[in-house]
Amino acid sequence: MEKFYEASKAEGPIDFINVFDLEEAAKTVIPTGGYGYINSGAGDIFTYRENERAFNHKLIIPHVLKDVELPDTTTEFAGDKLTAPIIMAPVAAHGLANVAAEEASAKGVATFGTIYTASSYASRTLEEIRAAGGADAPQWFQFYMSKDDGINRDILDMAKRNGAKAIVLTADATVGGNRETDRRNGFTFPLAMPIVQAYQSGIGQTMDAVYGSSKQKLSPKDVEFIAKYSELPVYVKGVQSEEDVERALGSGANGIWVSNHGGRQLDGGPASFDSLQYVAEAVNGRAPIVFDSGVRRGQHIFKAIASGADLVAIGRPAIYGLALGGATGVIQVFEFFKRELEMVMQLAGAQTVEDIKKTKLRENNYC
């Protein structure tokens, strides 16, 4: 591990064509350990790779003569008008990427005009994140529970105090996946985790130690507890099957978040996009669905929405933008996805986000 961790201080416009450019450039400005932590996946990175490949399992048929012009990506969600159905995924420790950390990313996301999900393991306090986004910006709070319910109440109070509109319970990371890049790099977090400082300082800790300090034994009762105590909508994150949909909704969850943690947790499992169709069928309109893992293109967002997602979250690409351009970089990344989504909508004959939802993708029989 680097002794003195020097994150990027960049702020300003980035020159890039696509997200893969960002990934490559980010590698040059983020210290090795931090980049490895952000970029890499679990085990043989089979599931990690499947996440991207899986989008080719369904094909968008270009449609013509559909009377479409200047497609509209805006969407209303839970009372908020979003610039696009693209939101910020919870990602730990933005300070690894940029010294401006969550203050820059929250500001960028708010400027773009969408939901920001603050991670429990953020490098900034929720007060700072709220202030950076501004009072009107929709923010959600991603929760890694403590083993101590007193601490959990305190953290939930903090989230409410800072205007969180929903609590996202990450349930697929009760232990760390076998992220071998971190082990090869000897990576430990160089930065504090102020939000959860009551149970975890963060500094000098491995990812495994951090996860180990949080609650492993998650159950439907935890969803009930959070919902009841916070009186906020609860999203269960990490759902990939009918069974888990029922367990989550049955315990009072208000939303389902399909994810495999970006391929960082259980290797040898399905691509998140492949799981989406199972989940969407099971949910069957009973709750909103958020989707993440593997999104690198506007066409991926289109495919996810056409497969049942209401919102699509992006993680790594935004963090690369943060590393390379601070708040401005984050905005650019969201604009990139919006621009590609608009192009896809035009070519696929979808004027609105509702039109995307009605779009039928074609199964790819040859992959």
Q: Residues 242 to 271: which contact a second copy by CB under 8 A?
A: 243-244, 247-248, 251, 260, 265-270
Residue 177 engages a second copy in binding (rule: CB under 8 A)? yes
Residues 101-160 touching a second copy, rule: CB under 8 A, are: none
CB closer to a second copy out of 175 and 203 = 175
SS3 64: coil
CB of 306 to a second copy, least distance (A): 11
CA distances to 107, 125, 147 from 196, in Å:
22, 9, 12
Q: Out of 57, 94, 261, 300, which one is annotated catalytic?
A: 261
Ramachandran angles phi, psi of 307, nearest 5°: -100, 5
Nearest to 353 by CA among 30, 111, 75, 80: 75
Residues 288-317 touching a second copy, rule: CB under 8 A, are: 297-300, 302-303
The interface mask with a second copy, positions 17-46, x = CB under 8 A, is xx------------------------xx-x
Nearest to 175 by CA among 208, 219, 222, 220: 208
Q: Could you give the angle at which helices 220-230 and 242-250 cross, rounded to 10 degrees?
A: 40
CB closer to a second copy out of 172 and 355 = 172
Q: Looking up tokens 């501004």, which residue turns up? A: 134
Degrees (nearest 5) of the Cα angle 296, 53, 108?
15
Q: Of these, 2, 23, 72, 180, which contacts a second copy (CB under 8 A)?
A: 180
CB closer to a second copy out of 73 and 299 = 299
Of 63-71, 77-85, 97-105, 287-295, the window that binds a second copy (rule: CB under 8 A) is 63-71
Residues 322-341 touching a second copy, rule: CB under 8 A, are: 340
Degrees (nearest 5) of the Cα angle 199, 327, 299?
95
| Alpha-carbon torsion (296, 297, 298, 302), positive or negative | negative
Residue 223 engages a second copy in binding (rule: CB under 8 A)? yes
CB closer to a second copy out of 18 and 74 = 18
Q: Of these, 65, 79, 150, 285, which contacts a second copy (CB under 8 A)?
A: 65
CB closer to a second copy out of 110 and 248 = 248
Do residues 196 and 120 lie in contact, with contact meaning Cβ atoms separated by under 8 Å? yes
**For residue 315, which amino acid is it?**
G
Of 22-30, 93-101, 104-112, 235-243, the window that binds a second copy (rule: CB under 8 A) is 235-243
HSE-up of residue 348 (Cα within 13 Å, Cβ side): 28
CB of 249 to a second copy, least distance (A): 11
Is 94 noted as a catalytic residue in this protein? no
Residue 286 engages a second copy in binding (rule: CB under 8 A)? no
CB of 65 to a second copy, least distance (A): 5
Provide long-range contacts, Cβ within 8 A and 24+ apart, for 19-27.
19/296, 19/297, 19/317, 19/320, 19/333, 19/336, 20/296, 22/317, 22/320, 22/321, 22/324, 22/333, 23/316, 23/317, 23/320, 25/320, 25/324, 26/97, 26/319, 26/320, 26/323, 26/324
Do residues 4 and 138 lie in contact, with contact meaning Cβ atoms separated by under 8 Å? no
Residue 89 engages a second copy in binding (rule: CB under 8 A)? no
Residue 199 engages a second copy in binding (rule: CB under 8 A)? no
CB of 331 to a second copy, least distance (A): 19
CB closer to a second copy out of 111 and 351 = 351
CB closer to a second copy out of 88 and 350 = 350
Residue 186 engages a second copy in binding (rule: CB under 8 A)? no
Residue 217 engages a second copy in binding (rule: CB under 8 A)? yes
Residue 358 engages a second copy in binding (rule: CB under 8 A)? no
Catalytic residue annotation? 261
